[in-house]
Amino acid sequence: MYLGTDERIQYLIPGMSLYVNRMRMRVGFLVMVTDRHVTLLACSRWSLHRPKQIWERLPRSTELGPLEIHPSLGPVLSVGGIDMEIDEEYVSAVRAANLEIGDDALPEDPYPGG
């Protein structure tokens, strides 16, 4: 239902929305990055483990982000009109997924100015 024939999941990033299309709304989302697509799966308010529907399907060439690290909120990822809080452990997955679509891209320096 969520995957095409022979489509493989490369990254799965859970998050809780802050805003959905500029409206304040707390809903669980999964960003599923496969070898063919970036798919936003909407979950319920209470569970990030059971997707309810496909919110949006984007081409694999779509860059995830922007990714902003806020001192009070932590990492905030924007994808397809959704701003969501993610755990710090998934920041490297976002950066790796973005690296895979670029030819000569280098990862963002985790210690800028240092």
Whether pLDDT at 105 is above 60: no
E strands present in 43-94 = 53-59, 67-70, 74-79, 82-85
pLDDT of 114 = 54
Helix then strand count (H, E) for the chain reads 1, 8
Joined tokens for residue 27: 């809903």
Average pLDDT, the chain: 87
pLDDT tens-place string over residues 22-74: 778 788 999 999 999 999 999 977 777 789 999 999 999 999 999 999 888 88
Whether residue 86 contacts residue 65, with contact meaning beta carbons closer than 8 Å, is answered with no
Question: Which residues are 30's β-sheet partners?
Answer: 14, 41
**Domains of the chain: residue spans and CATH:** 9-101 (2.30.29)
pLDDT of 55 = 93
Strand pairing report for 23-24 and 53-59: unpaired
